[in-house]
Structure 1
Amino acid sequence: MLDYISVQQASEKWGISKRRIQKICEENRIDGAVRFGRAWAIPRDAEKPADARKKRMDMREKNEI
């Protein structure tokens, strides 16, 4: 059976906010994340998903050059 961590533990592990992790879970971007009521259980070995917001920033930076 997989070990799970909480949103708080993932926040500390990955260095991003708890709210951002909740949003990523809602978007199904963390494989194996499961919702129990209002809480998320994230597999301990889950990889930190790439920040999709950076793509938009990169596009803006290219347009400024």
Structure 2
Amino acid sequence: MELLTTTEMAKKWGLSRRRVTTYCTNGRIEGAIMKGNTWLIPDNAIKPEDPRRTRKNSDEIEEGAK
């Protein structure tokens, strides 16, 4: 298992480095560790769902469009 930085994972997942850092800080990426002031993430970590895009929000948007 290789450990990747937030920049590397951001590129892999198609997210901003800041979003990946936020996921790490909030404990949303299993196996992420802080080494000094750098987050290291297992290369096989699962991309967390974006909490800003929930199913409930999608349903509300669709209901409003009808």
TM-score when normalising by structure 2: 0.84
**In structure 2, distance between residues paired with 1:59 and 1:29:** 24
Q: CA deviation at 1:59?
A: 5.0
Aligned pair count reads 64
**In structure 2, distance between residues paired with 1:37 and 1:46:** 20
Q: List gaps (5 residues or longer) in structure 2.
A: none
Q: Which amino acid aligns with 1:57?
A: N
Q: CA deviation at 1:60?
A: 3.9
* Greater than 4 Å deviation, 4+ residue runs: none
Residue 29 (str. 1) matches residue 28 (str. 2): yes
Calculate percent identity across the aligned residue pairs.
31
Higher mean displacement: 52-61 or 10-19:
52-61
